[in-house]
Amino acid sequence: MADTAIDTLPGQAPQTLIDGKGILTRRATLAPATADPGARTVEVVWSTGAPVRRRDMAGQYIERLSLDPQAVDLSRLEGASVLDAHRQTAVRDVLGSVRSAAVDSKRGTAFIQFSARPEVEPVWQDVLAGILRHVSVGYSVEDWAETTENGVRVLTAVRWTPHEISLVPTPADPGAHIRMETEMTDTNTTPAPCEAQTRAEANAEIRSIARIAGLDQSWIDGQIDGGADPDTARRAAFEALAKRSAPAIRTEQVRVEMGESQDDPALRARQMGEALYARINPRHDLSEPARRYAYATPVDMAKELLTLRGESTMALSPASLVTRALHTTSDFPIILGDTVGRVLRDAYQAAPSGIRRLGRQTTARDFRAVNKIMLGEAPLLEKLNEHGEIKAGTMAEAREAYKVETWARKIGVTRQVLVNDDLGAFADLARRMGQAAAETEARILVTLLEAGSGNGPTMSDGKTLFHADHGNKAGTGAVISDATLSAARLALRTQKGIEDRTIRVTPRNLLVPPALETTAEKWLASIAPATAADVNPFSGSLSLVVEPRLSSATRWYVTADPGEIDGLEFAYLSGAEGPQVESRSGWDVDGVEIRVILDFGAGFIDHRGWFMNAGA
């Protein structure tokens, strides 16, 4: 988890806030004087309940943590992880565990143990040396009590739960302090080094006595704070044991809880972007983390981003807030890019493309040529001779290739649109770019199909896709009719494979330009014939596909199912399917520049699944 600096009360050290999933943090101090080198343990003070000045959508307020034992739920802290600066991305971030924890009306304390892993050893040595002295507690609040003091809102956490303790670089809580052997409240003297070492050894023995006797952290604190020596502590332990019938059996379990930091700038930007998208598309169901931004405008979001960076936003106009957010934080362009991406993808998926339905989608690992090898038919089985010899067979192959290329365009969202909260113009721009991306793909596919003066691209055998030698082109162009459709179907059904053997090609689609749509519908319509001669043999056997981008008003095609035989294939760069959106603060535009990138390529892998008639 990343720590974010926030404002504090006058004369108070900085506090920190982990802004996500309701998890907050406060810093306290580590006590190297209470360290036990043998057991790798140390005592910490993790909270004194000091007031903290925070900010939300309603403005500034003061936060207090109640240290009433009834208000604090320690069930998750005991056995929780000790983390490195609140990071929870990997097991290596766990430095140790909380062995026990306690809270009274004045402070929260804990007894933590460090791991013996080699990578943790440098941290433990810095703790022993007093170099690493400060800790921070991560917590969530279940119930607040709101009051007003001197005209300022005060929110007191009256029911809250600590989740973890972390080592952090800087202190914050002014009441948190190094856990000394005794509380020296009336002198300013410092114990001599040998005296401190003797006291540390005594404290280590007291903790050992407590573990053997099954006594809790509050008993340990009482003995150490009272300056007890080991003999006195043993007598006190015997007295405590005498008051109960048997020692309690305690089971300790170390839990490593992996979470997602809501303070991550990219994650917060996605939440704000999702909230903006929900305002554009009310049907979108907002995720729980994004609900806090449900009614926020771009100006509101700019103000929060600046506040989280520790910048003052007092007396700044909406235009100034947007301008400063664009130039001082990279989060704001990410937010707008996320929103544009969502609207763009909706429009991209909704844009119709007839020819795209007739191809097979795949992915390419890079921008090098995609080589497609087609194997011929398997060799026929032969009768086994009397000697039982099985002869080896071979399979022929053919190769076609195409490659993925990059298509891109840049658009700008002006500062005026952001200040005016003109989401209509914002959404319209993104929607048009989504439609343009779909149009780009469709035009690439149509251009490929109509290459070679309508005969298609040149294949690896040196002949065009539609060629008399391929048996997939009508000798004479003619209109759609029973005879011409029957001829197209027959041509596909009788296609030969690489080894000149009949293969399975089932006609499935009739592709036409808009000018032939009505004619095609008539020939594919289901009607109730009066006589056998009136039966429509193509009713229900072919699906009509209309592609408005076809340049010829007479040319039509019959195609096989792309899942049955290779034909048209199109590919996206792996991991970048569909248009990708990137954004940055505008350089050529007074606002945000957003670029749309499409890594897309297409090619015909085989000619056997397509038939063309030039029409008349």
Question: What is the SS3 assignment for 460-528?
Answer: CCCCECCCHHHCCECCCCCCCCHHHHHHHHHHHHCCECCCCCECCCCEEEEEECHHHHHHHHHHHCCCC
When pLDDT is cut at 50, 70 and 90, the band that residue 477 belongs to is very high
Q: Is the pLDDT of residue 337 over 60?
A: yes
Q: Which residue has the tokens 């340049």?
A: 551
271 against 183, higher pLDDT = 271
CA distances from 228 to 188, 193, 197 (A): 21, 19, 15
According to the model, what pLDDT value does residue 134 have? 82
**What is the helix, strand, coil percentage profile of the chain, to 5?**
30, 25, 40
Lowest mean pLDDT among 41-50, 324-333, 512-521: 324-333
Among candidate residues 119, 149, 179, the one where a domain is terminated: 179
Q: Is the pLDDT of residue 181 over 70?
A: no
Q: Is the pLDDT of residue 22 over 90?
A: no
Mention every residue, 6+ apart, whose C-beta is less than 8 A from residue 193: none
Tokens for 390? 């099985």
Among candidate residues 127, 145, 179, the one where a domain is terminated: 179
Q: Is the pLDDT of residue 132 over 80?
A: yes
Which sign, positive or negative, has the C-alpha torsion 129, 133, 138, 142? positive
Give the span between the Cα atoms of 168 and 5, in whole angstroms: 13
Q: Which residue has the tokens 């700019």?
A: 302
Assess contact for 400 and 465: CB atoms under 8 A.
no
User: Does 595 map to a domain?
Assistant: yes
| Beta-sheet strands, E only, within 130-199 | 134-149, 152-167
Give the span between the Cα atoms of 196 and 445, in whole angstroms: 81
Q: Residue 21 carries which side chain, given as an amino acid letter? A: K
CA 256 to the chain's CA centroid: 22
Q: Is the pLDDT of residue 363 over 50?
A: yes
**Cross-strand bridge partners of residue 569:** 360, 603
User: Does 60 map to a domain?
Assistant: yes
Mention every residue, 6+ apart, whose C-beta is less than 8 A from residue 577: 363
Give the span between the Cα atoms of 397 and 82, in whole angstroms: 61
Among candidate residues 160, 179, 198, the one where a domain is terminated: 179
For 487, counting Cβ atoms within 10 Å of its Cβ (0-12 exposed, 13-18 middle, 19+ buried), the class is: middle
User: Does 281 map to a domain?
Assistant: no
Q: Residue 342 carries which side chain, given as an amino acid letter? A: R
Tokens for 97? 């565990």
Lowest mean pLDDT among 325-334, 452-461, 552-561: 325-334
CA atoms within 13 A on the CB side of 451: 16
Q: Which residue has the tokens 């943590």?
A: 65
Which structural domain, as residue segments, surrounds residue 609? 405-528+536-613
Check which CATH number belongs to the domain holding 554 and give it.
Answer: 3.90.1690.10
Mention every residue, 6+ apart, whose C-beta is less than 8 A from residue 591: 326, 412, 413, 414, 415, 416, 417, 418
Q: Is the pLDDT of residue 396 over 80?
A: no
Mention every residue, 6+ apart, whose C-beta is less than 8 A from residue 363: 571, 572, 573, 574, 575, 577
- C-beta neighbour count of 353 within 10 angstroms: 19
Assess contact for 378 and 439: CB atoms under 8 A.
no
Instruction: Read off the pLDDT of each residue in 30-51 and give the average, rounded to a whole number.
Output: 79
81 against 339, higher pLDDT = 81
CA distances from 263 to 122, 300, 305 (A): 28, 17, 11
According to the model, what pLDDT value does residue 391 have? 63
Mention every residue, 6+ apart, whose C-beta is less than 8 A from residue 90: none
Average pLDDT, the chain: 77
According to the model, what pLDDT value does residue 538 have? 60
**Cross-strand bridge partners of residue 81:** 97
Q: Is the pLDDT of residue 533 over 90?
A: no
According to the model, what pLDDT value does residue 231 have? 78
Give the span between the Cα atoms of 42 and 128, in whole angstroms: 9
Which sign, positive or negative, has the C-alpha torsion 63, 66, 71, 75? positive
305 against 359, higher pLDDT = 359
When pLDDT is cut at 50, 70 and 90, the band that residue 180 belongs to is very low
Q: How many structural domains compose the chain?
A: 2
* 3-state DSSP assignment of residue 165: strand
User: Does 418 map to a domain?
Assistant: yes
Lowest mean pLDDT among 32-46, 199-213, 247-261, 586-600: 247-261
User: Does 368 map to a domain?
Assistant: no
When pLDDT is cut at 50, 70 and 90, the band that residue 283 belongs to is confident
Closest CA to 613 of 535, 530, 532, 552: 552
Express each pLDDT in 192-232 by its tens digit: 444 444 677 777 778 877 877 778 888 888 888 778 887 78
Q: Is the pLDDT of residue 124 over 80?
A: yes
Closest CA to 293 of 315, 316, 270: 270
Running DSSP on this structure, what letter comes out for residue 291? G
Closest CA to 591 of 341, 264, 337, 293: 337
Mention every residue, 6+ apart, whose C-beta is less than 8 A from residue 466: 454, 455, 456, 472, 473, 607, 610, 611, 612
Instruction: Read off the pLDDT of each residue in 447-464 and give the average, rounded to a whole number.
Output: 92
According to the model, what pLDDT value does residue 372 have? 75
Phi-psi region of 22 (alpha: psi -120 to 50; beta: other; left: phi over 0): left
Instruction: Read off the pLDDT of each residue in 347-358 and give the average, rounded to a whole number.
Output: 80
Q: Which range scores top for mean pLDDT: 162-171, 365-374, 434-443? A: 434-443
User: Does 71 map to a domain?
Assistant: yes
User: Does 384 map to a domain?
Assistant: no
Q: Is the pLDDT of residue 14 over 70?
A: no
Express each pLDDT in 534-592 by its tens digit: 445 566 678 899 999 999 999 999 999 888 888 999 999 988 888 888 777 766 667 77
When pLDDT is cut at 50, 70 and 90, the band that residue 63 belongs to is confident
Q: Is the pLDDT of residue 361 over 60?
A: yes
Instruction: Read off the pLDDT of each residue in 256-277 and give the average, rounded to a whole number.
Output: 66
CA angle 152, 158, 163 (to 5 degrees): 115
429 against 233, higher pLDDT = 233
CA distances from 291 to 285, 307, 339, 516, 541 (A): 10, 19, 15, 50, 50
User: Does 243 map to a domain?
Assistant: no
Lowest mean pLDDT among 40-49, 269-278, 319-328, 556-565: 319-328
**Cross-strand bridge partners of residue 409:** 596
Instruction: Read off the pLDDT of each residue in 130-151 and give the average, rounded to a whole number.
Output: 85
